[in-house]
Structure 1
Amino acid sequence: MIKSEFYKELLKHKEIAESQFVLSLYKNPDLFFEYDLKSPDISNASWRLYYGILNDLLTRKRLKVVDMIAVEEYIQSKSDKLQEYYSANGGYDTISRGSQMIEDENVDVFYSEIQRYKILMKLVEKGYPIKNDWNKYSKMRLEDLSDYLEGQLSSIFLDADFGDEKVENIVSGIDEMIERADSGVDRGLPLASPLMNSVQNGMALGNITMLAANSGVGKTFLTLNQLLPTHIDLEEPLMIIANEEDKAKWQRDLLTWQINNLQEGVTFDKTRFSQGKFDKEEKAALAKASEWLKNKMDSGLIQFVNLNNFSMNKSIKLVKKYATGLGIKYFIIDTLKLDNDANANMSDNSWLLLQQNMVKLYNVVKPTNKNCHVWVTYQMSKNPKGKYLSQNDLGMSKNVADVVSSLILVRLISESEKGEGKGALKVKGMSGKRMTLNEDLDYFVVFWDKNRQGSTSEQVVLRVNRGRNTVKDIGKVRISPEYN
């Protein structure tokens, strides 16, 4: 195909963006995993070479820092022909000098420009008259270009009857589906509570689980107790994306959990961290817990980041980066809220933005994309309508749960629901017999409003001690939606 002068001009602009993008990645390699760019997407052979080098060093060799020594050692291990080509393009000096002239804060713009010119070049190849309206197209960003072209095509096909849905025999591939289910691939990690897991049936990849409760009930408490023991026991990597509780708070909770759940004959309340002046026994228990946790997690089993300003875009970038670069499949977002940079008041539009953010998140974690699982905590409305919890108790924002596979709602059991009184809950214990709830203890009742892998007809009762980070399975109960 003979390329027109206009096409060559587009290619020239694309290659400039490629150089800026690749140099930005060398300047700040942490940015590499935030972008889904394949080597063939880079038109310029020289920048394709430099991008390929960086890709191998970060994904295959898993280097954290990329410098001249790392690049030169890599090149020396390659063929003479590649070494000659590398030298002919200026070697590492091209990276060193170029990186000094680039502001990596603009990497989003450089990446977008690569995509924009790639699309424009493809449109020219397909015969679209881009040159004729270049004054209009040249001012469009990638998103504007996409919206404009989709709008043009939609208006053309508005009244068309496509009829192009794929029709398949419903039993085709059924044996492969059975084998996959039997292997447990689709099951996902279990929750630490056998009782909760019997309802939830694991945290399947490609899905989002939302845990909702009122402020102060214990969303983070229950999250830690249900997820971290499983990840530690099975050595399955996990990333925690927090925006309310800092690392020290999670460390205190982990130490408290380890002491009260794994050390015999020892109790420790996490309020002691605020009081200080530990006695001899407490110091020994804390030292033992610290050593145990470091032995289990020093390899980076559980990663933690505290977002100073929460935004879904930041969270999604972290999921994409660590799912691609480190192969992490499980994530916690604690707590989901409106973007801090949205500058929005609590209005219908702000809730719509939150709902759209959840759709964006699901589009990243779904099976056809990164295929990971995200556990999201969320605060319920301040005034639940009754003692039966449902998606409606999320208030104006209830549609944020539309894309989740499991919606778990939790509340404390009230005093009137304990003991033998008229309002006492009829709890069926682990043995199948009815249990009376001790009026001196605290309990959670756990509801499922959505549960794609299980039922929603029963609720789970847990005995909890939020000061000692302990959770014990008690039994199941059936609470009617009419129950108040």
Structure 2
Amino acid sequence: MKEITDYDKRLVENREVLEASFIFCLWKNPELFDDYNDFNPSTELMLNDSRFYYSLGKDMSSLNYKSLDHASIYGHLKDNEETRNKFNSLGGYQTVDKMCKIISTENVESYYDTLTKSNMLLDLNDKGFNVINELERFKKMTSSQLYDYYEYQLDDIFLNRGSNVEIEDLEITDEFIDRCNSGEERGLSYSSTAPLMNYHTMGLHKANVQIFAGFSGTGKSSYVVSSYVMPILDEGENITIIANEMNIDAWRHLFLATVLSQKLGYYGLTRKKQKTGSYTPEQLAKIKEAQQYINENYKGRLKFVKIYDYSIDDVRRIIRKMSKRGFGYFIYDTFKSENAASDKVTGELIEASKTLLQVAEKEEVCIIITMQLAIYMENTRYLTASTLSNAKGVKEVVSELILMRKLWDDEFTGKKYDVKPWRYMKDPITGKINGSKEFLTLDENKRYRIMFLDKTRNDEDDICVISKFDGQWNQWKEIGYCNPMHQNRV
């Protein structure tokens, strides 16, 4: 950022107040430093005094000071003459006390947003945009509104020039036939991990959004890592995980367990043991081997983004940004309404799914979103879109809808609601499927999941696939098809 004197005075008007209001909110409640731990004073503050106060407050906060009062400040500075002299030259505690009395920590988000907007305007000015002419309009906007304003202006310019609109005859061209014949209409294959579901969905398709949904605790994220993330990486593609619930370490444990079992064939380290530590030499050696495998095969191609709300605008911006960096596949975990208490939740989720489809089509990427199934539907045997929590209408937007639940005790082989699992048999000579069915016996000591393909645009839907699941090593194996009853559990 340039010096304050390098800018038109109208652009840096009240800059001292903007920076001081935000910084002294943090001083007034030092716990707020943790909420803004990604704040970079060297790029977001222009004034040296502001940087001084921020750094001093940050240092004391990191030492667990709960109140930056007169005694604690001078106690902290007693052995640092240079910093103490600087603090006194700025008015000492009297300056701090005066500022803290006139600001409210309840407005910290507003102060931060105003500061962010000011920095955005300076950056736009540096890049040649004439922001002075619209400055009065911008003063009434939030930083998000400013972003949307410029995005709209650019989209409007290019749309009017025809850059994003093509009108063509819908005809069957030779080029289209050649693409179909070469297999380009197939999506990225994940048959290595889920051959049956891959067959019916014809892979993972770009310019599309698909939903993988399940009840809480059924292993949605585990399935996503094993059945989607791994094949995408193995095909040499790049993928970004956007998460608003599980943190990065939880995903690391899933990823590590999957690599250990799938790639190294090692089953001596469960996910639980990963977290408890005290590894044996063998276990530590295998972790290092997995680390090396990941670095050699996947380094730089798997990104993780943690967001702290359910803002679809943030998700859209992340996808647009990462798509420009060569990332063609995205996992969004978990898709929910920004305001679950709103009486317009259903409509908001449908609109949000439309937004994701638009960005998928525009950026030519594949977006897989996980969703929670409605708790009150947990006794439903045969899952359909009606079990989606507050969002049945999103089925009309997405290309694939897969729903998952646990196999219940009364559905095992020989039980009252036996799901009668089966698979097609192969001709012993040709190796091709001959249409005959082989019925399977389920082991009551194992855990199983049923996947319901409720919608696909690439094959027939209403297909049920049963998989064996071992959560200790994140192992998933499709064993065949099944036929769950439509009668609900009482």
Equivalent residues of 1:237, 1:328 under 8 A apart: yes
What one-letter code is carried by the residue in structure 2 that aligns with 1:249?
A
% of aligned pairs identical?
24
Question: What whole-Å deviation, never above 9, does each CA across 1:84-122 have from its counterpart, x for those lacking one?
Answer: xxxxxxxxxxxxxxxxxx9663577799999x999x9xx
Q: Classify 1:263/1:395 alpha carbon distance in 2 versus 1 (closer, same or farther; 3 Å).
A: closer
Mapped to 1, the partners of 2:275 and 2:382 lie a distance apart of: 35
What one-letter code is carried by the residue in structure 2 that aligns with 1:375?
I
2:372 aligned residue: 379
- Partner-residue secondary structure (3-state), 2:337: coil
Mapped to 1, the partners of 2:454 and 2:265 lie a distance apart of: 37
1:410 aligned residue: 404
2:216 aligned residue: 215
Mapped to 2, the partners of 1:223 and 1:413 lie a distance apart of: 19
How many residues are paired up?
Answer: 348
Equivalent residues of 2:209, 2:367 under 8 A apart: yes
- Partner-residue secondary structure (3-state), 1:396: coil
2:348 aligned residue: 353
Instruction: Note if 1:319 corresponds to 2:312.
Output: no
Equivalent residues of 1:243, 1:307 under 8 A apart: yes
Question: What whole-Å deviation, never above 9, does each CA across 1:106-149 have from its counterpart, x for those lacking one?
Answer: 577799999x999x9xxxxxxxxxxxxxx99x9999989x99xx
2:272 aligned residue: 271
Alignment of 1:296-335 (within 5 A): 296-298=297-299, 300-324=300-324, 326-335=325-334
Equivalent residues of 2:332, 2:367 under 8 A apart: yes
Mapped to 2, the partners of 1:480 and 1:374 lie a distance apart of: 31
Instruction: Note if 1:452 corresponds to 2:457.
Output: yes
Equivalent residues of 2:372, 2:389 under 8 A apart: no
- Partner-residue secondary structure (3-state), 1:215: coil
Q: CA deviation at 1:338?
A: 2.2
What one-letter code is carried by the residue in structure 2 that aligns with 1:391?
A
Equivalent residues of 1:186, 1:205 under 8 A apart: no
Mapped to 2, the partners of 1:383 and 1:319 lie a distance apart of: 33
- Partner-residue secondary structure (3-state), 2:344: helix
1:440 aligned residue: 445
Question: What whole-Å deviation, never above 9, does each CA across 1:450-480 have from its counterpart, x for those lacking one?
Answer: 1111221321111010121001120012335
Question: What whole-Å deviation, never above 9, does each CA across 1:206-251 have from its counterpart, x for those lacking one?
Answer: 1001111011111100000111221221110111111111111111
Equivalent residues of 1:427, 1:476 under 8 A apart: yes
Mapped to 2, the partners of 1:475 and 1:418 lie a distance apart of: 14
Mapped to 1, the partners of 2:418 and 2:120 lie a distance apart of: 58
Mapped to 2, the partners of 1:107 and 1:360 lie a distance apart of: 28
Instruction: Note if 1:105 corresponds to 2:117.
Output: yes
1:181 aligned residue: 180
Alignment of 1:191-230 (within 5 A): 191=190, 192-230=193-231
2:60 aligned residue: none
Q: CA deviation at 1:397?
A: 2.2
Equivalent residues of 1:411, 1:446 under 8 A apart: yes
Equivalent residues of 1:266, 1:285 under 8 A apart: no
Equivalent residues of 1:458, 1:479 under 8 A apart: no
Q: Classify 1:167/1:195 alpha carbon distance in 2 versus 1 (closer, same or farther; 3 Å).
A: closer
CA RMSD of aligned residues (A): 3.7
Q: CA deviation at 1:182?
A: 2.1
Alignment of 1:127-142 (within 5 A): none
Structure 2 unaligned spans of 5+: 1-10, 12-41, 45-113, 153-166, 426-436
Mapped to 1, the partners of 2:185 and 2:122 lie a distance apart of: 38
Q: CA deviation at 1:260?
A: 1.7
Question: What whole-Å deviation, never above 9, does each CA across 1:369-417 have from its counterpart, x for those lacking one?
Answer: 1111101001010022520001000143222333111111000111111
Question: What whole-Å deviation, never above 9, does each CA across 1:422-462 have from its counterpart, x for those lacking one?
Answer: 32111113533000111110011100111111221321111
- Partner-residue secondary structure (3-state), 1:377: strand
What one-letter code is carried by the residue in structure 2 that aligns with 1:334?
D
Q: CA deviation at 1:28?
A: 7.6
Mapped to 2, the partners of 1:28 and 1:174 lie a distance apart of: 53
TM-score by length of 1: 0.64
Q: Classify 1:177/1:289 alpha carbon distance in 2 versus 1 (closer, same or farther; 3 Å).
A: same
Instruction: Note if 1:365 corresponds to 2:364.
Output: no
Q: Classify 1:266/1:274 alpha carbon distance in 2 versus 1 (closer, same or farther; 3 Å).
A: closer
Question: What whole-Å deviation, never above 9, does each CA across 1:39-62 have from its counterpart, x for those lacking one?
Answer: xxxxxxxxxxxxxxxxxxxxxxxx
Q: CA deviation at 1:312?
A: 1.0
Q: Classify 1:107/1:408 alpha carbon distance in 2 versus 1 (closer, same or farther; 3 Å).
A: farther
Q: Classify 1:437/1:229 alpha carbon distance in 2 versus 1 (closer, same or farther; 3 Å).
A: same
2:471 aligned residue: 466
TM-score by length of 2: 0.63
What one-letter code is carried by the residue in structure 1 that aligns with 2:348?
L
2:482 aligned residue: 477
Q: Classify 1:287/1:478 alpha carbon distance in 2 versus 1 (closer, same or farther; 3 Å).
A: same
1:428 aligned residue: 422
Equivalent residues of 1:425, 1:477 under 8 A apart: yes
Mapped to 2, the partners of 1:111 and 1:355 lie a distance apart of: 35
Mapped to 2, the partners of 1:405 and 1:28 lie a distance apart of: 42
Mapped to 2, the partners of 1:222 and 1:462 lie a distance apart of: 10
- Partner-residue secondary structure (3-state), 1:227: helix
Q: Classify 1:364/1:284 alpha carbon distance in 2 versus 1 (closer, same or farther; 3 Å).
A: same
Equivalent residues of 1:267, 1:468 under 8 A apart: no
Q: Classify 1:380/1:109 alpha carbon distance in 2 versus 1 (closer, same or farther; 3 Å).
A: farther
Mapped to 1, the partners of 2:172 and 2:326 lie a distance apart of: 28
Mapped to 1, the partners of 2:249 and 2:176 lie a distance apart of: 44
- Partner-residue secondary structure (3-state), 1:230: helix
Mapped to 2, the partners of 1:313 and 1:109 lie a distance apart of: 20
Equivalent residues of 1:259, 1:267 under 8 A apart: no
Q: Classify 1:256/1:245 alpha carbon distance in 2 versus 1 (closer, same or farther; 3 Å).
A: same
Structure 1 unaligned spans of 5+: 1-15, 17-26, 30-101, 121-134, 148-165
Equivalent residues of 2:345, 2:390 under 8 A apart: no
